[in-house]
Amino acid sequence: MRLNTRVHDRDVAGMRYVYPVVSRRARGVSVGVNLNPNKACNWRCIYCQVPGLTRGAGPEIDLERLRRELTDMFGALVQGDYMERHVPQESRRINDVAFSGDGESTTSKQFAEAVALVREVLESFELLGTIRVVLITNGSMIDRPEVQAGLRAMSSMNGEVWFKLDSATAQGRRVLNDTGLGTERVLDNLLLASKLCRTRIQTIALALDGRPPSPEEQAAYVALLNEARSQGAAIEDVLLYGLERTSHQPEAPRLAKLSVEQLETFADAIRSSGLTVTVHP
């Protein structure tokens, strides 16, 4: 779930919850918020790149420390010389704040409080509304009232939910995400998310034991998105990713990247229902 490689540097040494990511592709800096420093997630995706991932929920967050770290990070980016020292000229802008940690952010009981803190800090730097606030999520906890409160707050601050959907079948999610979450709940959570906040779908498509997602899997995926939209889900677009980085799960040797052609064929099937799809091979 983590965005990208951490920037190791003494500016960020000692930070528990906040980390900067310089993205060449997005030409900007993303401020990552990790509410799972204990590396605990309620899912276990076979491509998960978190080393030492454990099953569980985010720990109690030290909110004062989170506030301090966010303030220090934005201070270094906005008022300090962090950009000059570490960021290529063409990327010297802040793209977003992203809840993207070593586990599922919404398993934290303090998720909504953390969103409120981000709001406060952005306001204090006069950045509220000018940069996006993104939640990268597996979507499994959206039926919890406190998560919904967080999404409502995000919606009022240029927020986006990136809702993970790797498979539309129970069997597929069992294999890829090691979760028993039923399809009805996935659909309900997607509906809820999209009603509360701008929602994008993020999907990883890969080959397992040399086999790409079957035609039946791909058809079920398109059908689920169509069903969600027919029930009123406003889906912004679909971000279709290939396997980018090394998995730290035991299944790692069984995984392989799909070719660009395979990803594009899947993307075209999704596009045929009118959705915008961006492929990240």
State how beta strands 94-99 and 54-55 pair: unpaired
Residue 48 engages ligand SF4 in binding (rule: CB under 6 A): yes
Residue 41 engages ligand SF4 in binding (rule: CB under 6 A): yes
- Minimum distance from residue 78 beta carbon to ligand SF4 (Å): 29
Q: C-alpha 145: how far from its chain's center?
A: 20
| Binding test (CB under 6 A) with ligand SF4, winner from 19, 43, 162, 221 | 43
Contact pattern from residue 137 through residue 176 relative to ligand SF4, giving x for each residue in contact according to CB under 6 A and a dash for the rest: -x--------------------------------------
Residue 104 engages ligand SF4 in binding (rule: CB under 6 A): yes
Of 79, 95, 128, the residue nearest 21 (C-alpha): 95
Of 148, 147, 2, 12, the residue nearest 80 (C-alpha): 12
**What's the Cα-to-Cα distance from 102 to each of 13, 32, 159, 183, 268, rounded to whole Å?**
17, 11, 21, 25, 32
- Minimum distance from residue 50 beta carbon to ligand SF4 (Å): 5
3-state helix, strand, coil in the chain (%, to 5): 40, 20, 40
Residue 103 engages ligand SF4 in binding (rule: CB under 6 A): yes
Residue 241 engages ligand SF4 in binding (rule: CB under 6 A): no
* Residue whose CB is less far from ligand SF4, 227 or 251: 251
At residue 180, the 3 state secondary structure works out as coil
- Minimum distance from residue 212 beta carbon to ligand SF4 (Å): 19
Task: Output the CA torsion sign for 154, 161, 8, 50.
Answer: positive
CB 69 within 8 A of CB 18: yes
- Minimum distance from residue 111 beta carbon to ligand SF4 (Å): 14
* Residue whose CB is less far from ligand SF4, 44 or 92: 44
* Residue numbers at the binding site for ligand SF4 (CB under 6 A): 1, 41, 43-45, 48, 50, 53, 103-104, 138
